[in-house]
Amino acid sequence: MALQNDLVQAAPKVLCWYGVPILLTESQRFHLLLHDIYLHAASGSDIDAFPQLNGRTTAYVFSFDHYAPTLRAHSETLQIAAAKKLARYINSFCSHNSIVVTRTLSPRVEEVFHQADICFAQKDLTYEKPFFQFLRTHVLPLFHRHERPERNYLRVVPKEVSEFRVFLKNLGRPGDSTLTARLVNLSLNGVQLKMEDSRYAHLDLREAMQITMRSPKVAIRIGCAFITRIDTARDEIAVNFNLHDRSFIEERDAQQLQRIVLQTLEQGARRELMRKAESPGSLEMNEIAQALARQA
């Protein structure tokens, strides 16, 4: 799995997009996550470490306009030189799962990417509708769909995991005292918990629980969740719920939880990219673009 570390235990498909043309809302990014796609808005400092994330469930979009923003006002010769450098970089590790997109079509620039056997498209993606159309028709086919079925399941471990205290109330036996636990990990449809006393051993599978998770920064209440796993050897239980059903969790709490998941994925991606060791032949995208611009 390309994205997997102490923050991300089970990752969705990863889409690295260098130069995302619109600012996606948290809700839109989470909608993609529900379809098994984590969109990582890559910065210039990320791009040189892309090979670190490359895998069978990873894809890349490169905005040529973002890569060489100053070149469109200069000569076509400089655009072609930039295109050749970008094509060499892409072909060094990910030509099979990448696409280059630009708003301004130059037949000679297009020919550079075609000769390099790299997908190339002219699209203006500054509006929401064409952006998502492009995503469906050009980007999703880059993933090896048959390598793994689509899923809306992942597991993340927030950096503040040790700060969360968890309180469980048995909805079927309201007279029972409140149980306490520690957070182990989060997913889009559940949480895994480390129980703090032995009374949890009286719980049964499919029992309904009310769960409150608190840290110094956030409090999340899950009105109803069902026990799906009990591991007495590790003193852990797993509970599941429907994030979009208000009978399980209120909208405000659901938004808090999805924000934690997205932020943890972002931190996990940055951490994985930072692991790349410096190499003498590494390609620094921003420096190349600036050097080409100075030649104009």
pLDDT of residue 289: 46
Residue 277 has pLDDT above 70, yes or no: no
Domain-wise residue ranges, the chain: 8-152+279-294, 155-263
Residue 197 has pLDDT above 50, yes or no: yes
Beta-carbon contacts of 207 under 8 Å, excluding residues fewer than 6 positions away, are 170, 171, 172, 226, 227
CATH number of 8-152+279-294: 3.40.50
Q: Kindly state the average pLDDT of the residues 218-238.
A: 96
Superfamily (CATH) of domain 155-263: predicted glycosyltransferase like domains (2.40.10.220)
Between the alpha carbon of residue 101 and those of residues 48, 84, 121, the distances in Å are 19, 15, 5
pLDDT of residue 60: 95
pLDDT tens, residue by residue, 231-245: 999 999 999 999 889
pLDDT of residue 296: 43
Of the candidates 292, 290, 282, the residue with the CA atom closest to the CA atom of residue 47? 282
Joined together, the tokens standing for residue 49 give 């470490």
Residue 280 has pLDDT above 50, yes or no: no
106-112: long-range pairs with CB below 8 Å, 24+: 106/76, 106/79, 106/80, 108/76, 108/79, 108/80, 109/64, 109/76, 109/79, 109/80, 109/83, 112/80, 112/83, 112/84, 112/87
Query: Which of the residue ranges 147-161, 183-197, 206-220 would you say has the lowest mean pLDDT?
Result: 147-161
Q: Kindly state the average pLDDT of the residues 145-163.
A: 77
pTM confidence score: 0.84
Residue 21 has pLDDT above 90, yes or no: no
pLDDT tens, residue by residue, 247-256: 999 999 999 9
Residue 73 has pLDDT above 70, yes or no: no
pLDDT tens, residue by residue, 109-120: 999 999 999 999
Residue 188 has pLDDT above 80, yes or no: yes
